Every structure is written in C-alpha cells, then in structure tokens.
Structure 1
C-alpha cells in the first residue's frame, strides 16, 4: 500500500509540474502583431498571449481548458498560414471529399488529418452536442438525416471555424447564437428562395424589397 501511495504522489507531482510548465508556456507565447489574417490591416493592440486565447476558446460550448490547450498546440496562434477558416478546416481534414467516377459524384471520407486535433475536436463536439446551444441544435438538426458520426464531424468543423475567428481576431469573443438560429435565419431564407422559384416557374418576375418599419 505504501508503494502505491508513493507512486500516486510521484505521478501527482509530475502532473502538477507539467501543468506549471504549460501555464508558463502559454504566458510566453503571443500572437503575431499583425492584423487579422488576410485583411492587411495594422494591429489595434499588441499580441495576445496563448493563455488569453485558451480562455477565449474555453467559452465555446464543448471546449474545456485542456481541449483549448490542445487546439492551440496543434494549430498554433498564427493564422496567417490559414488565410480563411476553410483553409484550416481543409488542413485538419474535416471537409468531406467528393469522389468522381465517370459521370457520378459521391461523398468520400474526409481523411486522417491531425489525430490529436481531430481527437480533441471530436470530444468537444460530443460534449457540445448535449448542450442547449447553437452547436447542440446544429447536431440535433443534422443527426436526423445524416447520422451520429457525420453530425459530430459537422459540429467539430463548426468549432474549428469558431476557433479560427477567435484566434485570428484579437478583439473577437464567442457569442452564443441560440438554439433557434437556424429556424430564424436558414429556414426563412430557404422558404423565401423556394417561393421565388415557384413564382418564376409560373412566368412571374420577382423583386424582393426589405420591409419598412
């Protein structure tokens, strides 16, 4: 028993030392002093520490402190090598591939990608899927027609896009859109588009004008 307790104490001390080193490293690493990637603008503030970025990522549903640290460790704090969120998503292999065979196209597997990043995003997506948030609603909307695995990949992709914006823009912070965002935005836009197409098919010319207050 004494041997086991000694082993536990030794491992606990090692974990505490690693936590200290991680916290120290996060304080030492800062983002570049340029503006958001691809904008060509001058910085409004000095570089943000990786610790501040980790705290910002921690506000995203599904992401905890450890997951935030893994995300930063794998993609870094400099988003200039990923000009857009789509570049980062493609690099992480979270974009479904299209396989062409003759005249037919079918969806293929996204690919392996970075196993540490995909593992962390998978855990974050699984946790976010159980929340009453925009990401949770996104999972429940997709799982009905695409299944559990593809719904989780879609949520993981959304989380990575959010992470890109939070890291890329020093002034950005996570804003919860709400569970009814798709209902308020996508559904109404789709309904409008379908009605316009129906009227055009009947030979009508449709002009959309915003409603006046």
Structure 2
C-alpha cells in the first residue's frame, strides 16, 4: 500500500512531524496526480479541504493531506463495500454554520469593519449544540470522493 502520510518522530515525549515514508512509487505518483486534479475541481470536498489547509500548512503539505484523504476514502470504500458519495464544497460550512459565520465576522473585524448579523425576517434562528468533536459528522456509509470528470 502506498504511504501518503507524514512520518512521526518521537523523542523525549515530544512528537514532531517527519518526511513522508517511502511506499509504492507508482501508487504515490497516481495519488499525487489525483490529488492535484481534485483540488482544482470546483465545489468538491477535497478542494475545500485543500483550501482550508493551505493557509496554515502550505501548498505541498496540504496536497499530501489531500492524498491521504483520497487513499483513506478508497480504503473505506473497498473494505466496507460502500459507494462513493460526494459531500460537496460547502460540507464544512453547512455542518457548523455558526462557526463559519463567527470566522467570517472575525475576518471582517480584523480588516477594520464593524459587523452586526441580523437573522432573515420570518426565519426562526435555530441554535445547534456545539459538536463533540471538531470534525463534522458524516452520514453513515458514505465517504468523500471526487466528482467524475
């Protein structure tokens, strides 16, 4: 199996990232090409993941993370015998809309704007409880996958 995850360097109770371990070079090349293509697909889950990671990790590490997401999705589809289900580019925003609006308000505040949010007229505002984990819940039996060309 190809290795698309970063290695781990443990020493004295500290964990640091290391280089990607070697694996099947043909699989690694194929994953790289697939990741490179899927991050340029509009309104796709992997493209949204890449855009979220690129800001804090850089383009190459974000690409390796997308490669890892692709191979993880493929593994789950093959072992659980479930079809591919595209979650869409707005999956992270739709799963926790309050967090997304808070992030946008903070970004505008940093630019010097004062923002006041008003709910749309006639729409009841629903507040959802905070999620137990940072990762949004995925529908059972589904895995993210790229859109077919």
Q: State the TM-score, normalizing by the size of structure 2.
A: 0.59
Alignment of 1:135-150 (within 5 A): 135-150=46-61
Pairwise CA distance, 1:94: 2.0
Q: Return the match for 1:157 from 55, 61, 68.
A: 68
Pairwise CA distance, 1:174: 1.4
**Quick check: 1:120 aligned with 2:38?**
no
Cα distance between partner residues in 2 of 1:116 and 1:177: 28
Greater Rg by CA: 1
Indicate how the Cα distance of structure 1 residues 107 and 187 shifts in structure 2: closer, same or farther if over 3 A, else same. Answer: farther
Pairwise CA distance, 1:112: 1.1
| 1:102-133 C-alpha deviation (Å, 9 max, x unpaired) | 24321111211110001000000000010121
| 1:19-50 C-alpha deviation (Å, 9 max, x unpaired) | xxxxxxxxxxxxxxxxxxxxxxxxxxxxxxxx
Greater relative contact order, per chain length (Cα 8 Å cut-off, separation 6+)? 2
| 1:57-78 C-alpha deviation (Å, 9 max, x unpaired) | xxxxxxxxxxxxxxxxxxxxxx
Cα distance between partner residues in 2 of 1:167 and 1:103: 36
SS in 1 for 2:20: coil
Indicate how the Cα distance of structure 1 residues 104 and 184 shifts in structure 2: closer, same or farther if over 3 A, else same. Answer: same
Q: Return the match for 2:85 from 154, 169, 175.
A: 175
- Say what the alpha-carbon RMSD is for the aligned residues: 2.6
SS in 1 for 2:33: helix
SS in 2 for 1:135: helix
Pairwise CA distance, 1:92: 2.4
Gaps of 5+ in 1: 1-90, 195-213
Cα distance between partner residues in 1 of 2:25 and 2:11: 29
Pairwise CA distance, 1:184: 2.5
Larger helix share, 1 or 2: 1
Indicate how the Cα distance of structure 1 residues 99 and 155 shifts in structure 2: closer, same or farther if over 3 A, else same. Answer: same
Cα distance between partner residues in 1 of 2:22 and 2:32: 13
**Which residue in 2 is equivalent to 1:93?**
3
Gaps of 5+ in 2: 103-129, 133-149
